[in-house]
Amino acid sequence: MVSNSAVTSVALLRQALRDEIAATSLRHVSRQVGMSPTGLQKFLESGHPLTATRRRVERWYVLHGPGRLESGLTAESAMAVLRVLVQDLSPARHRPTLEALVKSLEEAYRTARLPQPGWLGEVRAAVGGVELE
């Protein structure tokens, strides 16, 4: 099971960026993320990122990084997708909206009489404990 702190953690995002930069270039990845190369380098080196920076990086992770859906849905990529979906809402609405989305997905699997995927249970557990900014 993925721990609350591991779900799309900053460390996970930074490592995914480093891997992609090693495979391509800082300039290429910074264009994908929508940041300057200098700004991306600062994200890789500094502590707690600004909310806007984290959102950009999570969007990159979902669209271009190892969290992209073609790689198979994991708890990390599902959480990143959910964060991208709620990012335009006020921070006070993030957690309740994520909880409602997860509840809706659980109900949809129950109604369809399909087994709940493992990532959904991990996301359910994580929604209550991760920083959502």
Asked if residue 60 is part of any domain, the answer here is: yes
- Identify the three-state secondary structure at position 89: coil
Residue 3 has pLDDT above 60, yes or no: no
The answer to whether 104 touches 82, Cβ cutoff 8 Å, is no
For the entire predicted model, the pTM comes to: 0.60
- Under DSSP, the state recorded for 48 is S
Asked if residue 132 is part of any domain, the answer here is: no
Asked if residue 4 is part of any domain, the answer here is: no
How far apart, in whole angstroms, are the C-alpha atoms of residue 119 and residue 133? 21
Q: In which band, very low, low, confident or very high, does the pLDDT at 5 lie, cut at 50, 70 and 90?
A: very low
Please give the tally of structural domains in the chain: 1
Asked if residue 96 is part of any domain, the answer here is: yes
Range of the domain at 51: 10-127
- pLDDT per position as a tens digit, 93-104: 999 999 999 999
Q: Concatenated DSSP letters for 62-89?
A: HHTSTTSGGG---HHHHHHHHHHHHTTS
Asked if residue 3 is part of any domain, the answer here is: no
pLDDT at position 59, please? Answer: 85
Residue 129 has pLDDT above 80, yes or no: no
